[in-house]
Amino acid sequence: MKHISLPADESAIRGLTVGDQVLVSGVMVTARDAAHKYLVENDDPDAKKVLAGSMIYHCGPVVAREEGAYRFVSAGPTTSEREEPYEAAVIRRYGVRGIIGKGGMGARTLDALKTSGAAYLHAVGGLAVLLAKSVEKVEGVMKLEEFGVPEAMWIIRVRDFPAVVTMDSHGGNLHAEISRRSAERLHDLLAPSPGDTGV
Amino acid sequence: MPQPDLTDHFTELIRRASTVLPSDVGAAIRAAADHEDEGSVARRVLLSLLENAAAAARESSPICQDTGTLTFHVTHDAGFSRAVLEDQIREAVAEATRRSFLRPNAVNALTGKNSGNNLGTGAPLVFFHDAFGRSEAADTQHSTLSATLLLKGGGSENVSIQYSLPDERLGAGRDYAGVRRCILDAVHRAQGYGCAPGTLGIGIGGDRMTSHMTAKEQLLRRLDDVNPDPDLAAHEKEAVEKLNTLGIGPMGFGGRTTVLGVKIGARHRVPASFFVSIAYMCWAFRRCTMTWKDGTASFES
Ligand code: SF4
């Protein structure tokens, strides 16, 4: 188990490789579709301040407002693939050190991780209650009015947020590897067998 | 005798469905964890799912933040007005949303506007079934009703799929060997989307609509049941074994557990059509049944 504290410097992230189980602590920011589009179309200095050295969490949380403060109630990862058109640009422009989501991302993001020194961390989908518990404090929120609760950029302080490195800064990609191996196995299973009439 | 007001019982049904993992699903995840290597990521992930489910049940928090689509199956004796039951269910859905057992998840198909309370056109979906025979309809009144609720998230619904055989890409002909190819293909394609380990509800035959319906109905079955049709039972067992050799594993991290179960139903088809529908249910397989009998409600998940 490795501990990562945010903001992280490049060497800490370069030290991560595919398969590492990590616990992340510090300040990170949630962002999904509307936020990614916004970050690419604008050069937001406020966003830059929090994102530099930090991580982006693909998450549309359920947030409760209690006595004037926000609390994360249920906050598992959402599918990352949707942000593939934007992520490489966001990583480069804002100096992001990591992306947390589920399902992995594509070739452009992998390349940005490599050149910028960042990593993709996979959180467990559906682990919504436990992951919400690792959010100690909501430090702020950007674009709440404009984007609504699930799409806003929530600035959260997490402690020991659990994840697994599935794409690293050296080109390692667990998703591609598992996909390749399972495709080979699928190919074997689909090989015509006696009694299989085919088309 | 006026029809009883079951609204609060329906609200409780929703709370339980969203926050309590069914016992058979929990048992299957635990067995799967034991089957993965000590210290492996796969095992760790499976155990964390159980931890999450325990915390959700303790705090009445949704197991997953995507509380999905709500489908009710209500079976009742004579005397219940279905219109009244549906009103009570809709009121319960709105109340459960207010109490955060459900995320507001019903959006206008075209404008994307969220209704805020999970009510909308076709939302929730309620199916009614008779629990009485033709002759006894008049004797039984308001005494028994059972309602099963299934919650299905978007990530898992998006990878559900329907094949029409023959399928040349898969080399799948119009027989069970062809069906087998569809099943393997569907799970391979679902990796990285629906949170694994999943459960497959499979419908063979029927038309486009009933094939999908048959697939979804299989998800009402318990994971530990045995298909009364011995051929289908054998196919189910074989499918689970084969799929778990794909190595996709929990969350796609690799491992021996890619699916928890496969449930197959078949219905007659016209000679010209051969559909295979696959309803993918993620690990957060949320369902609960409420039974109302002689004035008291009991729940089973
Ligand atoms: S696929 Fe299931 S467990 Fe995963 S995020 Fe969707 S509803 Fe939750």
- Which residues of A are annotated as catalytic? 36
- Taking contacts as CB-CB distances below 8 angstroms, the residues of chain A near B283 are 126
Q: Give the pLDDT confidence score for residue B79 in this predicted structure.
A: 82
List pLDDT tens digits, range B235-249.
999 999 999 999 999
Number of CB pairs < 8 Å for A and B?
139
Asked whether the predicted pLDDT for residue B139 surpasses 70, the reply is no
Confidence of residue A177 (pLDDT cuts 50, 70, 90): very high
Closest residue of chain B to A125, computed from CA coordinates:
B195
d(CA B288, CA B197): 20
- Any idea what the Cα angle at residue B127 is, between residues B224 and B83, rounded to 5°? 145
Q: What's the mean pLDDT in B262-281? A: 98
d(CA B229, CA B163): 23
Question: In sequence order, which ranges of chain B are alpha helices (DSSP H)?
Answer: 7-19, 23-35, 41-59, 82-98, 154-157, 176-190, 208-217, 230-243
Q: Contact at 8 Å (CB) between B239 and B199?
A: no
d(CA B244, CA B237): 11
How many A from CA of B22 to the centre of ligand 1?
A: 16
List pLDDT tens digits, range B69-120.
999 999 998 889 999 999 999 999 999 998 889 988 898 999 878 898 999 9
d(CA B216, CA B157): 10
Ligand 1 atom with least separation from CA of A77: 5
Q: Are strands B161-164 and B275-281 parallel, antiparallel or unpaired?
A: antiparallel
Q: Give the pLDDT confidence score for residue B45 in this predicted structure.
A: 94
Report the pocket of ligand 1 as residue ranges, CB < 6 Å: A 76, 125-126; B 64, 66, 68, 153, 155-156, 194-195, 282-284
Q: Contact at 8 Å (CB) between A90 and A116?
A: no
In order of A157, B151, B224, the CA distances from B31 in angstroms are 35, 23, 12
Q: CB-CB: which of B65, B166, B193 is closest to A61?
A: B65
Q: Are strands B296-300 and B286-293 parallel, antiparallel or unpaired?
A: antiparallel
List pLDDT tens digits, range B25-67.
999 999 999 999 999 999 999 999 999 999 999 999 999 989 9
ipTM score of complex: 0.87
d(CA A89, CA A79): 19
Asked whether the predicted pLDDT for residue B129 surpasses 60, the reply is yes
Pocket test for ligand 1, best of B151, B282, B285, B287 (most atoms within 8 A of CB): B282
List pLDDT tens digits, range A88-124.
999 999 999 999 999 999 999 999 999 999 999 999 9
Q: Whose CA is nearest to atom 2 of ligand 1?
A: B282
Q: Whose CA is nearest to atom 8 of ligand 1?
A: A126
Q: Give the pLDDT confidence score for residue A117 in this predicted structure.
A: 98
Helix B176-190, helix B230-243: angle, nearest 10: 40
Q: Give the pLDDT confidence score for residue A17 in this predicted structure.
A: 97
Confidence of residue B222 (pLDDT cuts 50, 70, 90): very high
The one-character DSSP state at B7 is: H
Residue ranges and CATH numbers for the domains of chain A are 2-173 (3.20.130.10)
Do A178 and B253 make contact, defined as CB atoms within 8 angstroms?
yes
A157 CB-contact burial (10 Å; exposed 0-12 / middle 13-18 / buried 19+): middle
Question: Percent of chain B, pLDDT > 70?
Answer: 96
Q: What's the mean pLDDT in A13-42? A: 96
Nearest CA among A146, A157, A164, A162 for reference residue A72: A157
Asked whether the predicted pLDDT for residue A198 surpasses 70, the reply is no
Q: Give the pLDDT confidence score for residue A101 in this predicted structure.
A: 97
Residues, chain B, total?
301
- Taking contacts as CB-CB distances below 8 angstroms, the residues of chain B near A124 are 45, 48-49, 52, 195, 251
Ligand 1 atom with least separation from CA of A76: 5
What are the phi and psi torsion angles at A173 (to 5°)?
-145, 100
Nearest CA among A180, A162, A153, A160 for reference residue A59: A153
Do B166 and A124 make contact, defined as CB atoms within 8 angstroms?
no
Q: Give the pLDDT confidence score for residue B104 in this predicted structure.
A: 85
Q: Give the pLDDT confidence score for residue A73 in this predicted structure.
A: 87
Confidence of residue B200 (pLDDT cuts 50, 70, 90): very high
Q: Give the pLDDT confidence score for residue A193 in this predicted structure.
A: 65
Q: Contact at 8 Å (CB) between A138 and A155?
A: yes
Asked whether the predicted pLDDT for residue B136 surpasses 60, the reply is no
List pLDDT tens digits, range A40-83.
999 999 999 999 999 999 998 888 888 889 999 889 999 999 99
Asked whether the predicted pLDDT for residue B213 surpasses 80, the reply is yes
d(CA A4, CA A100): 13
A190 CB-contact burial (10 Å; exposed 0-12 / middle 13-18 / buried 19+): middle
Please give the residue that has the higher pLDDT: either B223 or B100. Answer: B223
Q: Give the pLDDT confidence score for residue A197 in this predicted structure.
A: 54
Q: What is the mean pLDDT of chain B?
A: 94
d(CA B119, CA B177): 42
List pLDDT tens digits, range A117-171.
999 999 999 999 999 999 999 999 999 988 888 889 999 999 999 999 999 999 9
Q: How far is B271 from chain A (nearest CA, A)?
A: 16
How many A from CA of A3 to the centre of ligand 1?
A: 27
Q: How far is B145 from chain A (nearest CA, A)?
A: 32
Confidence of residue B135 (pLDDT cuts 50, 70, 90): low
Q: Which residue type sits at A135? A: V
Q: How far is B169 from chain A (nearest CA, A)?
A: 10
